[in-house]
Each structure stands twice: as C-alpha cells, then as structure tokens.
Chains A and B, each alone.
Chain A
Amino acid sequence: MNIDITSAIACAFMVVGVFFAMTSALGMIRFPDVYTRIHAGTKALTGGALMTLVGAALYYPAWQVKAKILLIALFFLITNPISSHAIARACYLHGIKPTVSYKDDYGENLNNNGEETER
C-alpha cells in the first residue's frame, strides 16, 4: 500500500472537515437560542463543508472534476452568509428575541426609528 503525499493531505483535510461538521451539528443541538444556532449551523458548517470539498478535490485525479468541486465550494462561500443573514433578520423582525442577551442595539434602533429607512 503506497501512500503518496497528496492523498495523505486530502485525507487529513477530509477528516478535519468531517470533524468540524460533526461538532457544528453538536453545537446546533446544544446551543441555547436561535441566533447561536445560526452561528453553529451555517458558519461552522460552511468551514467544515469547504474543508471536506477541498479534500475531495485533492483526492480526485482528473482536474476538470477538481474544478467542479471547487466551484461548489465557491458557491457555498458566496451563498451561505446571505442565507444566514436572511434567516437571522427574519427571526428578529418576526419577534423572536434572544433568550439571553446582554446588549440589544438593534431593538432600540427599530423602536426609535419606527419606520424602516431604505433597505
């Protein structure tokens, strides 16, 4: 069994990425409120999925497939912040307050302005 350096690096990337995915899923179960769960579910999972995809791209020999896998990773990198922001804003505007919050500037701002300005 010959282990060359590239596939060893790819396996390391995959293992670390899958570990991050598992811990972010664990955080999604253990964290107390919706916003912290968004932190776990979208941000950390982005890192885990990116690392796993980079590992898969290194593992595969044909480089057209490598480019396609990296394209999927790039798509994740662009769309995940957008969707997590959309969910967080929808949560707040719907009226779900953070359960333990030490500071809430946004609620004060919404109460002061009343009317939302140009969005």
Chain B
Amino acid sequence: MIRLALWGLMIASLMGFWRVIIGPTVPDRIVAADALTIILTTVLALLAVDFGNGIFLDIALAFSILAFADVLIMAKYFEHGELHR
C-alpha cells in the first residue's frame, strides 16, 4: 500500500522537476522547488511508517523548517532584487 503511495509521489515529483528545469521565470522555479520539498517531506513520513522507525520523522521536521526559511529568503531576494533591503 505504501509502495503505491510512493509510486504516485514519485510521478508527482518528476512533474515538479520538469517545472523546475523548464520554468520560464525564477518564481516558477521557486514554487516548483517548494512543492518538491513538501513532496519529499511526505515521502520521509511514509518511509518512517514503512520501516516502522520514528527516526525519519525528526529529519522530516527539520527539513521542512529549513525549506520554509529557504523559501522566505528566496522571496525576499526576489522582491527587492537584492537581499539586504
């Protein structure tokens, strides 16, 4: 069952990867990369259930925190053209 969910998320992440490379402007790529981080966090939670091991969940939480900070930094950089304003 979980393997089926992993297959679906794999196809979704491939479509997001397509948008990351093809995307005509920078915010397209940012949005697609944000979607990829969400998918990856979900995959980590599913792996934790599959292996019966709670270790993956700590990694997933820390990863989602870092991804959130990442998106905010990219948004700020993009908003003013420079990072410091």
Contacts and interface: CB of A to CB of B under 8 A. Distances in A.
A95 B56 CA distance: 40
Interface string B35-46: 100110110011
Contact of B31 (A42, A46, A56, A72): A42
A13 B7 CA distance: 16
B79 A93 contact: yes
B75 A15 contact: no
Interface in A55-112: 55-56, 59-60, 62, 64-65, 68-69, 71-72, 75-76, 79-80, 82-83, 86-87, 89-91, 93-94, 96
B8 A18 contact: yes
A14 B8 CA distance: 10
State which size class the interface on B falls in.
35 or more
A7 to B, nearest CB: 8
B71 interface: yes
Contact of B1 (A11, A62, A82, A90): A11
17 contacts: A18-B8, A22-B8, A22-B12, A25-B16, A28-B31, A41-B32, A42-B35, A45-B38, A49-B39, A56-B2, A59-B1, A59-B2, A62-B54, A64-B54, A69-B48, A86-B72, A86-B76
Interface of A: 11, 14-15, 17-19, 21-22, 24-26, 28-29, 34, 37-38, 41-42, 45-46, 49, 52-53, 55-56, 59-60, 62, 64-65, 68-69, 71-72, 75-76, 79-80, 82-83, 86-87, 89-91, 93-94, 96
